[in-house]
A and B are shown apart, each in its own frame.
Chain A
Amino acid sequence: MTSVQSHLSASFAAHLADAQVAVEIETPEMTLNIGPQHPSTHGVFRLIAKVDGERVTEVEPVLGYMHRGYEKLCEVRTYAQVTALVNRLDWLSGYCNEIPFILSAEKLMGIEAPPRVQYIRTILSELARQATFLVFLGSFGIELGALTPFFHTMRDREKVLDLLESVTGGRFHPNFNRVGGILDDLPPGFVEECAAVMDDVDKMCDQVDALLFGNDIFRERTLGVGVIPLDKGLEYGVSGANIRASGCAADVRRDEPYLVYDEVDFDVVTDTRGDAFARAYCRLQETRESTRIVRQCLKALPSGPIMAKVPKVIQVPPGEVYVRAENPLGEMGYYLVSRGGRIPYRVKVRTASFNNVSVLPWLLEGVFMPDLIAILGSLYFILGDVDR
Chain B
Amino acid sequence: MDWVDYLIRSVVAVVVFAAILGTCTLLVWFERRGAAWMQVRVGPNKAGPFGLLQTVADAVKLLTKEVFVPDSADPLVYRIAPLLSLLPAFLALTIVPFGPGFHIGDRYVPMQIADLNIGILWLLCMSSIAVYGYILAGWSSGSKYPLLGAVRQSAQVISYELVMSLAIIPVVIWAGTLSTSGIVEAQSRYHWYVVPLIVPAIAFFVSGIAETNRPPFDLVEAESELVAGAITEYGGVRFMMFFLAEYTNIITISAITTTLFLGGWNGPILFGTIAGWSVVPLWGLFWFLLKTGVLLFVFIWVRVSLPRLRYDQLMTFGWKIMIGVNVAVVLAVSFVIALMEQGALPMFWAPPGR
- Where the two chains meet, the residues of A that have a C-beta atom closer than 8 Å to any C-beta of B are 30, 32-33, 38-40, 51, 53-54, 141-148, 150-152, 155, 212, 215, 217-218, 220-221, 368-373
Contact = CB atoms under 8 A, between A and B. Distances in A.
Q: Mostly helix, strand, loop or mixed at chain B's interface?
A: helix
Contacts of A217: 216, 306-309
A32 B227 CA distance: 13
B227 A146 contact: no
Contacts of B310: 220-221, 368, 370-371
B151 interface: yes
A146 B39 contact: no
A145 B307 contact: yes
8 contacts: A32-B144, A40-B225, A54-B148, A143-B224, A145-B215, A220-B313, A221-B307, A370-B219
Contacts of B307: 141, 144-146, 212, 215, 217-218, 221
B308 A144 contact: yes
A152 B222 contact: no
Contacts of B39: 147-148, 150-152
A142 B224 contact: yes
Contacts of A371: 310
Nearest to A141: B307
A51 B151 CA distance: 13
B218 interface: yes
Interface string B147-167: 110011000000000000000
A33 B148 CA distance: 13
B313 A373 contact: no
A152 B223 CA distance: 20
Nearest to B219: A370
B311 interface: yes
A151 B223 contact: no
A155 B40 contact: yes
A145 B151 contact: no
Interface residues of B, number: 31
A53 B151 contact: yes
B213 to A, nearest CB: 12
A369 to B, nearest CB: 6
B218 A148 contact: no
B172 interface: no
Contact of B308 (A40, A54, A145, A150): A145
A57 to B, nearest CB: 14
A369 B219 CA distance: 11
Of all A-B residue pairs in the complex, the 3 with the closest CB atoms, nearest first, are A145-B308, A146-B307, A151-B39
Given A38-B227, A39-B223, A54-B148, A145 B218 contact: yes
Contacts of A142: 224
Contacts of A372: 225
Interface string B31-75: 000010011110000000000000000000000000000000000
**Max chain A CB contacts within 10 Å: which of B39, B218, B225?**
B225
B87 interface: no
A369 B148 contact: yes
A347 to B, nearest CB: 36
B304 interface: yes
A369 B152 CA distance: 12
B106 interface: no
Contacts of A148: 38-39, 304-305
Contact of A368 (B144, B215, B304, B312): B312
A370 B227 contact: no
Nearest to B310: A370
A112 B291 CA distance: 70
A218 B306 CA distance: 8
A151 B40 contact: yes
Contacts of A155: 40
Given A221-B309, A370-B225, 14 more contacts: A143-B224, A145-B222, A146-B306, A146-B308, A147-B35, A152-B40, A217-B308, A220-B309, A220-B313, A221-B307, A368-B312, A369-B225, A369-B226, A370-B308
Interface string B258-280: 00000000000000000000000
A368 B224 contact: no
Contacts of A30: 144, 147
Contacts of B38: 148
A227 to B, nearest CB: 16
Contacts of A32: 144-145, 148
